[in-house]
Structures are given as C-alpha cells and as structure tokens.
Amino acid sequence: MGTFKSYIRNRRHPEGCIAETRVGIDCMNLFSKYLHGSVRTRFNRRSQNNDECEPSDAEIVSLFPNRGVPLGSKKTDPFILDKKSLSQVHAYLLGNCDEVQEYIREHEQEVNNHPQRSKWRKAKNHCQNFSQWFETRALHEDVPYFIKQLSRGPNSVAKRYSGYFINGYRFHVRQRDARRKTQNSGVTLVASTTSFASSKDKNLIAADLTYYGRIVDIVELDYYGHFKVVLFKCDWYEVENDTYGLTYVYFNKRCSQEEPFVLGSQVHQCFYVQDPYDKDRHYVMNTVPRDLFNMGDQVESNLPQSYENEPSEHLMGPSIPKDNGEVLLTRTDVPETIIDVPSKEFVTQQLEVEEEEFEDESADEFEDESENEYEDESENEYEDEFEDELEDESKEEFEYDTP
C-alpha cells in the first residue's frame, strides 16, 4: 500500500494517478527487455551481495584471486606508499602466490647449502633476501612473462578505499567504525606458519595459527597495468583463552607488526565484545557470510553445490552450526557438577515441596470463595432494600389517590 500511495499526485483522483503510474512502469519494464545488454536495467543489474568484479574491471590473466567490489566512491585520490610498506606488501604477495612456490623452494635449497649456519639463520636469510634474489632470477628466459612483472614489485602510487565487499562480508576500516555502533573492521585469518622457539632452537615447528585483528587501511596495488591486487592493512592482537574456552584479545597488545598486510580473499569477518569488568579485554565472535545458508544433509549429492558467496578455497573460515530444530537444555560451556543426595532425603524433600504447594493452592481457593460469597451477600442485601423502597412508595401513592 505504501508503494501505491507514493504514486498519488492529485488527491482528488487517487485511482487515476495509481493507474497512470502503473501503466508507465509496465511500459518501461517491457522496453527494458529489448535494450542492449550493456544497458543496466532492473533485470540485469547486480545483486547487492555480489562480490564478482565488473566485466570492465576483470583481468584476462591474474596471479591472485580476482574477486571483491569496493564500497563507496570509486573516485579516490591516489597516495604514495612508503618504502617499508612496499617491501612488506611485495614480500607477502610473493609468499602467497602459487606460481612462485617453485622459486621459493629453489632459494631454500641454495640457502641450505651453507652447512655452517644454523636453521634459524637460514630461515631468517631466506625471508630477508628472497625478494632481491627473485628479481634477479626472473631475468632468465625460462621465467613466464607475468612472473617477471611480479618480480619488479608494485607501483608506489596506490588507491585507498574505505570499504570492500568480498567473500560475502562487508569490510570497513577501523576509522569508519569509530563513528558508528556497528562493527565491520574485525578480521580473522588462519595461516600456516613455521617458527622457532628461540635463535638456538634447531627444530622448525609448522602449525596453523589463527590471527585476530582490525582493518586499518584498504589498499589497491597496481603492477604497472598488468594486474591489480587488493590488500588489507591490519593491526593483529595477541590471542588468549579463558577457563571456559572463549577466545579474547587485548587491543593494547599487538603482534606480527612486520606483516600487517593480508589478501582480502583470505580473511573472514568477526566482531569484538568488550568485557564489562576489563575494558582492555575483548571477546571474539565469528560472523556468517551474507547469502550463505546451511542447507542441511538432505541435499542430493548428485546436484552441483554452488553458493554465490562461498568462503575462500585457500583457508577454512567460520562454519555455520548445524540446526536440526532441537533445543538443548544442557549447557556445554561449563563443567558439569554432580550432587550426591540420598534417595530417602530426596523423596522427603519432594513431599515437603508438594505439601507446601498444595497448602498455598488451598489457601488461595478459600480466599477466592470467601470473596465471592461476600459479593453475593452484598448484592442480595442491596436488591432487598431497593424492593422495599419501591413497595413503600407505591403504598403512599395509593393512599394519596383515594378520597
């Protein structure tokens, strides 16, 4: 009804206004079906939660996932990245490109040929010198063209966005969240890392670690017109667990400050809830992507499973809990407590409770009956008095009329 009311321009003839506007809308819908495909209409426009790139922005060949749509105005002023940020971005992209993995193994073999160095020094040397070594290695003829362009590094002139939609999430920078009550800057990342306990440790430990942080900046890098990459610059925080297994972070305790950048296609979204007793402690809550639904186990296995905004294939993100309609009446977040009570004492306690409930019910019934009886008696007395008054008045009138 609100839509039809908006069609009214002349309040003296509302039906004519609605009919005229409706005819115009139907004509436009009919004409739009015969327009060229490049003309955007209501039948071919993008959905609100579609993170696929525009055909004009899509690249023929790209070394990184070409997904995501910037939010807000696309006409942003370019800025210049400093040398430290450029080196951090380039090192991270080389380490997360599938086509560069064979060159990474080649450099590790060259570094491991020095037997006098410890494993910790070899790993440190590999991380610090791989970018320079790869730039020299890419000059050989057996290296593909796009790998050579990647080895040059990105352009120092980059674009900055305040929001980005990818993997079914709407991400915004932390500065924008500071002016609102909603949170869209929290990110979580599961990364496979290798580390040493100390510089003297000889055992290299590989594990999957979960990082939590907030987005500081959203940057789009340009590799001199060959391909573009969108990265999130984040502040990562130290992660801890309480006695109940809940995960929380401290915003004043940061970690991994030398690796602040991450690909937008690798992260998932989370938000933080402040502890009422400790203002620096914030508990982590994972979110579910938009337009992603749990269809259950009844879906036929022969049908192709396709979701519009499915999480990235590289990393496992937050999953949707299974819901079969049953409500659990037992808590699983706290340890169970068993109370030993003898059977006789338990029976006597139950009988006492039942007797007290029966006495309370009988007392309430007695009060209700007494109130009803009192109301009935008062009504009968009022009716008797009213009838007596009527009889007296009728007698007096009769005596006055007789001669």
For residue 205, the SS3 value is strand
* Dist CA 218 CA 72 (whole Å): 12
State residue 272's pLDDT score: 92
Cβ-in-10-Å burial (0-12, 13-18, 19+) of 268 comes to buried
Transcribe 57-116 into DSSP letters.
T--SS-SS--B-EEES-S-PPPEE--HHHHHHHHHHHHHT-GGGHHHHHHHHHHHHT-TT
* Token couple for 128: 């610090």
Contact 171, 185 (CB under 8 A): yes
Determine phi and psi for 61, rounding to 5 degrees. Answer: -130, 130
State residue 312's pLDDT score: 43
Q: Who's near 219: CB < 8 A, 6+ residues apart?
A: 81, 89, 158, 159, 160, 161, 230, 231, 232, 233, 261
Q: State the Rg of the chain over Cα.
A: 37
State residue 309's pLDDT score: 43
* Dist CA 251 CA 216 (whole Å): 13
* Dist CA 296 CA 316 (whole Å): 19
Show pLDDT as tens, one digit a residue, over the chain (403 residues).
788 888 888 888 888 888 998 898 888 888 887 877 677 777 676 666 666 655 555 554 567 777 788 887 666 778 888 888 888 888 888 888 888 888 888 888 887 777 667 776 777 777 778 888 888 888 887 888 888 888 888 888 988 888 888 888 889 999 888 888 888 999 998 887 776 655 566 676 777 888 999 999 999 988 888 888 899 999 999 999 988 889 999 998 888 888 899 998 889 999 999 999 888 899 999 888 766 655 555 544 444 444 444 444 444 444 545 555 566 667 777 777 777 767 677 677 777 777 777 676 666 666 666 666 655 555 555 556 656 665 665 555 544 444 4
Nearest CA-CA partner of 246 in 209, 287, 281: 281
State residue 197's pLDDT score: 59
State residue 400's pLDDT score: 46
State residue 369's pLDDT score: 63
For residue 173, the SS3 value is coil
- Residue that the structure tokens 């990342």 belong to: 189
Half-sphere exposure of residue 366: CA atoms within 13 angstroms, side-chain side: 6
Contact 307, 292 (CB under 8 A): yes
For residue 194, the SS3 value is strand
Element (DSSP H or E) covering residue 169: strand 169-172
Transcribe 16-61 into DSSP letters.
HHHHHHHHHHHHHHHHHTTS-TTS--TTTSPPTT--BPPTTT--SS
C-alpha distances out from residue 315 to 61, 209, 245, 267, 322, Å? 23, 11, 23, 8, 20
Residue 69: other Cβ atoms inside 10 A = 20
State residue 325's pLDDT score: 57
pTM, two decimals, is 0.60
- Residue that the structure tokens 């430990």 belong to: 205
State residue 401's pLDDT score: 45
* Dist CA 84 CA 353 (whole Å): 74
* Dist CA 173 CA 177 (whole Å): 7
Start-to-end C-alpha separation, the chain:
78
State residue 52's pLDDT score: 63
